[in-house]
Structure formats: C-alpha cells, structure tokens
Amino acid sequence: MSARLAVSGERCTGHGRCYTLATTGWLSPDDEGYVEVKGSAVAVPEGREAEAWDAVSVCPEAAITITEDESGSS
C-alpha cells in the first residue's frame, strides 16, 4: 500500500508551507512559487507519510489531500 499526495489546482495559491515547513526535499516550488505538483498528485516517498500529513495540516487553503492507494496503481 502506498500513499499519494494531491494538490488542488483550484485551491493552491502558492503559500509554500508544504515545501518549506512540512516536507524535506520531495516537494518543490515551480517558477512562480506554486508547489510543482499543483493540479496533480505525487507518490509519498517511503517513510515520509508523517511529513505528508504535516503538509495537509499546514496548508492555509486546505488544498492538499492524501489518498491511500491500495492497488498500487493510480
């Protein structure tokens, strides 16, 4: 079972709290300061599930959701 972190393209406004305060190196900003995965999803690296949930909780826009992907496919 793996987790996926999704960022809403509508809600994300580029606060950058997910990539600066919650996670270590696996989320990064694009040229405008939005998280690169805005509008899509990314697999949460093995062992970083707690960071992923921190990203959810520090987002002022409630733009981030996590889904547990049981089949392993997306």
- Name the residues that contact other proteins, by CB under 8 A: 11, 13-17, 19-22, 29-33, 54, 57-61
Q: How far apart are CA 20 and CA 55, in angstroms?
A: 9
- Grouping H, G, I as helix, E, B as strand and the rest as coil, residue 1 is coil
Q: How far is the CB of 62 from other proteins (least distance, A)?
A: 8
Q: How far is the CB of 68 from other proteins (least distance, A)?
A: 23
Residue 7 or residue 59: which is nearer to other proteins going by CB?
Answer: 59
Residue 44 or residue 63: which is nearer to other proteins going by CB?
Answer: 63
Q: How far from 28 is each of 13, 54, 55, 72, CA to CA, in Å?
A: 14, 15, 12, 24
